[in-house]
Amino acid sequence: MIKNRLALAALLGVGAILTAHAQAPAPANPTPDPNAASSPHQRSVTGQDPGEAPPTDSSSPNAASSPHQRSAAKGEGAGEKMAAGDGLEPATFVKKAAQGGMTEVALSRAAATQAQDPKVRKFANQMVADHKRANDELASIAKRKGLNVPASLDAEHQAVVQRINSKSGSEFDSAYSKQMMSDHEKTVALFEGATKSADPDLAAFAKQTLPTLKEHKHMADELPGAMHAANSGEPAPQRK
């Protein structure tokens, strides 16, 4: 009887030990150390290579590795900066139009007295009147907007005036006529671009002045010197 009780107690003790062992939590697997990998392949599988920089948050613009990437992250690009409509910036248009207009007046004042051909003199007188009026109107608009208006010709345009004024007789008529043909082609293109300006006053001025400039161009193409240059294939003088 006593032996039977001892055997039963022994069996119960063994069962309790086995139950406790089964219920004990299994030890967590240690996270493999990437640096402990023995080869680059193993390091690429287990994690980050020790020579690599820690990953950065790509959402931060400052985290980009180059100025181009930083500007892209910030949303900056060629399309972000809006120009003045499809035309030139107002200040640039004012400068170019004023320099061109003053050049027309300076050349035409000389032609009104120096030209031999009466058609050239008549054309020159009209250029002085029309361009002076347009120059004054442009200056008035620009000053109201705080834009700088050139008060005199720059070196490039002054050189054009001096070159043509150095001629005389029929050579002067021819040089002046060809310059007017070339200048008005460029001026018409400049004002056509300005009609798309984001500045409504300058756009309106350009639209108002453009028909007169186109008429000037047609008249310049009909001048004796310009027609001679067109028929002979001579290149007309260029003004930037």
Residue that has been written with the tokens 């200040």 in this structure: 91
Answer left, alpha or beta for residue 75, where phi above 0 means left and psi between -120 and 50 means alpha.
left
Q: Where are the beta strands (DSSP E) in the chain?
A: none
Domains of the chain are 90-232 (1.20.1260.10)
Summarize pLDDT for 180-204 with one digit per residue, the tens.
999 999 999 999 999 999 999 999 9
User: What's the gap between Cα 111 and its chain centre?
Assistant: 39
Q: What is the predicted pLDDT for the residue at 226? A: 63
Summarize pLDDT for 159-178 with one digit per residue, the tens.
999 999 999 999 999 999 99
Summarize pLDDT for 100-126 with one digit per residue, the tens.
999 999 999 999 999 999 999 999 999
Please say whether the beta carbons of 126 and 180 come within 8 A.
Answer: no
Residue that has been written with the tokens 């003004």 in this structure: 239
Query: What global pTM score does this model have?
Result: 0.60
